[in-house]
Structure 1
């Protein structure tokens, strides 16, 4: 898999797609990373296509400050997820789990199909100024190409049995591992209370127009599971971005 696959699986569908989601465009995409001369501060300099990384006023991730959020009658999140065969890939930026068609997210009149989820360490989102050890971003796409991401925060605790098959696989770059059966619903916490805001992809090309929902209740990962991910990626999180007047809503 090419290093820009994560944005390719999401952005390819949006622009044609997250800096980690489309396929054919990956060959020409310049290398980007989380440190050195290709770190987030330089993403916009690497390619004209990454201009939103610097110019957009709706960038993700953000620091969610509870005292500054607005309570709202947000629609309940319905995770219409189904189990099935899946594929775990190391795309050079993260571990990503590609999922078969048939799962979707519904919130009121909004509905989008689940494409994949991937991990960042520490969590890209901050809550009241603090990161969690890890986060999973569940990426969804509507029939008209709009993206919606659900962030599931992880705290250190007992082993996450739902994710055990993924953490047992954790392939090296370029060696995808098939999973005969995986149920993404097992990763979602029981409490679906959430924060909602307008944001962007957190990797090049940083396209905005992404609907973000961050679940308030974290789920547990064991120290061994976090350590296994750190063996591949010690840090792959973009720094938080300015709100620029955006309002973060929180479900009542």
Structure 2
């Protein structure tokens, strides 16, 4: 029961539509609700100020180690796509979409986008970043991040954008989208312990950032940004002595 209570804020924020965007005190990326003020908006968000293992981070000086391979078993996504006022989010109802690391299985619950990227790699910021939110049987979260850079058009990005209703909190059903082509061919990664990058900024989240980016066309990136209407990235947070490992 104690473990359930501890992980409940994380589950509420990451399962389905972001619960904190609906039920909790309002937060955002502009005006008095910018990331540096999140911890002052509500006691529920105090971890955004007080946490010592916060995300995103600037990935620099990783320690190379013998780590287990990341086995991604994403298949055909079915569920909904929605502009929830903070991001474009795809909620996955397919129970067969999961990834495995360290012999443990994490089910994909949703993925969403930030522009520009939240994490940095050696100080580099990318035009966009996708976060694939996965959850194990105990409710613990693993977020896999994929950097997006300008280049060739991406057929999945174009398909998702064509299905998206620009009106906020108006979901559209999606069915049978092969999200595997939205992932890089090489699954080498950086790994560290962090938090949610949105309120309540709950910690205890495992982060895996893939080294290889994928490409979107300039028009696809512009379309995503037009939906957001503003930047939706939290600035990088101090590492406070955390180690970043790399395979």
Q: Is the 8 A contact 2:191 2:244 kept in 1?
A: yes
- Report the Cα offset of residue 15 of structure 1: 2.7
Structure 1 residues 145-154 or 156-165, which shifts more? 156-165
- Report the Cα offset of residue 154 of structure 1: 0.5
Alignment CA distance shift 1:195-1:187 (3 Å): same
- Report the Cα offset of residue 183 of structure 1: 1.9
What is aligned with 2:80?
Answer: 87
What is aligned with 2:142?
Answer: 148
* TM-score (norm: length of structure 2): 0.91
What is aligned with 2:209?
Answer: 214
Deviations 1:139-163 (A, max 9, x none): 0001001000000001100111122
Q: Is the 8 A contact 2:20 2:200 kept in 1?
A: no
Q: Distance in 2 between matches of 1:186 and 1:162?
A: 7
Instruction: Write out aligned runs for 1:93-104 (5 A).
Output: 93-100=86-93, 101-104=95-98
Q: Is the 8 A contact 1:12 1:18 kept in 2?
A: no
Unpaired runs of 5+ residues, structure 1, are 1-10
What is aligned with 2:234?
Answer: 238
What is aligned with 2:220?
Answer: 225
Q: Is the 8 A contact 1:40 1:238 kept in 2?
A: yes
What is aligned with 2:40?
Answer: 45
Alignment CA distance shift 1:185-1:149 (3 Å): same
Q: Are residue 132 (structure 1) and residue 112 (structure 2) matched?
A: no
Q: Is the 8 A contact 1:198 1:210 kept in 2?
A: yes
Q: Which of the residues 194, 198, 206 maps onto 2:193?
A: 198
Q: Provide runs of 4+ in structure 1 moved above 6 Å.
A: 22-25
Unpaired runs of 5+ residues, structure 2, are none
* TM-score (norm: length of structure 1): 0.89
